Amino acid sequence: MAPDEAPARVRITSPHTTARPRRRRTVEQEIDEETAIGEVYMRSLVRSQLRLALAVAAALVILVGSLPLLFLLTDLDAVRIGPVPLTWWLLGVVVYPVLFGVGWVFVRASERNERAFSDLVQRP
């Protein structure tokens, strides 16, 4: 090779440039294909719903389950509203709006959890 001649050019390429580009999978695809990441997303939804259900169950145990203890420790049978003792009013009338309210709160919170999960899944 003569001193004036430049060496021949050599092209060096990375093997990554010839590989086809990977597409990023969406969360929906991860869940549908049941990948490890999809399982993490589903487990987080189930865990949040379970936490909510346990909290509601604890509230019911405290609110309704404590009534027999209240009746045992106090003399509410002596208190009467009309011809009916107060204990019957509590069991027959007051408990049902409490149950309805707890159920309403549970459904609203459950829908909020699912809406947050849906927003996460549909995020690009």
Q: What is the pLDDT of residues 46-61, one digit of tens each?
A: 999 999 999 999 999 9
Residue 94 DSSP class: I
User: Long-range contact list for 107-113, CB < 8 A, 24+ apart?
Assistant: 109/52, 110/49, 110/52, 113/45, 113/48, 113/49, 113/52
Total Cβ atoms within 10 A of residue 87: 19
- 15 vs 113: which has the higher pLDDT: 113
Q: Is the pLDDT of residue 17 over 70?
A: no
Q: pLDDT digit string (tens) for 78-97?
A: 888 888 888 888 888 899 99
Across 19-38, b (16+ Cβ under 10 Å) vs e yields eeeeeeeebeebbeeeeeeb
Matching residue, tokens 């995020």: 123
Angle between helices 36-63 and 95-122 (to 10 degrees): 170
Quick check: 49 and 106 in contact, CB under 8 A?
no
Domain spans, the chain = 25-122
Q: pLDDT digit string (tens) for 63-76?
A: 888 888 888 888 87
